[in-house]
Amino acid sequence: MNLIGISGALRKASTNTGLLRALKSLLPDGVGMEIVTLHGIPLFDEDVIAASGKPAVVTELADRIRAADGLIIATPEYQFSVPGVLKNATDWLSTCNHPFRWKRTGVVGASAGALAGTARAQYHLRQNLQALEAITMPRPEIMIVHNEEKFDGNGELTDGETRQRLGKWLKAYLDWVEKKP
């Protein structure tokens, strides 16, 4: 099984990119995951497309999503929604012949502070993914609060209990990708 993990964060030390690395480290034998960040995708502007066409970084990402057996998106939360960077990427990808169609998708996220743990961003992302015809796993959910206590300064997960939760979530997700209920 071949997964793709997309981080909605550009920051090098992002805990959301770190969350994908932690999930990758927990994968069983025979399952791989490529982790992708959204660097290099320009702002979506139809006038630019008309003049210069679609950038290769976008069409290549669309192809990799299409080829994957499952997709995991880790999203930060900015101002009660997804980062513009992540939404901008799906605006581009929506022009690439339905790469998300029926794709089994898991949504996860980590944020600072006691509340939400990217809940608001995740529901906006799920509605966006509905438009893209992805199938998102309803439950369980992963919303990590207090990421400042659970990841180090490089965005590496250091908290054992969170690692356990991720392991359980990952098991549920892989079952769901494989059995296609």
Residues that bind a second copy (CB under 8 A): 10-12, 41-47, 78-91, 94, 102, 114-117, 119-120, 123-124, 126-136, 138-139, 143, 145, 180-181
> Is the CB of 60 or the CB of 133 nearer to a second copy?
133
Smallest gap from residue 137 Cβ to a second copy (A) = 9
> Is the CB of 23 or the CB of 90 nearer to a second copy?
90
Torsion of CA 92, 93, 98, 104, to 10 degrees: -150
> Is the CB of 25 or the CB of 52 nearer to a second copy?
52
Distances (CA, A) of 18 to 21, 51, 100, 112, 117: 5, 37, 23, 14, 15
> Is the CB of 35 or the CB of 44 nearer to a second copy?
44
> Is the CB of 27 or the CB of 123 nearer to a second copy?
123
Smallest gap from residue 97 Cβ to a second copy (A) = 14
Helix, strand and coil percent figures for the chain, each rounded to 5: 45, 20, 40
Distance CA 64, CA 28 (A): 21
Distance CA 155, CA 151 (A): 5
Smallest gap from residue 141 Cβ to a second copy (A) = 8
Cis geometry, peptide bond prior to residue 140 (ω within 30 degrees of 0) = yes
Smallest gap from residue 29 Cβ to a second copy (A) = 27
Distance CA 122, CA 134 (A): 14
- For the record, the structure tokens of 173 come out as 């997700």
Smallest gap from residue 151 Cβ to a second copy (A) = 15
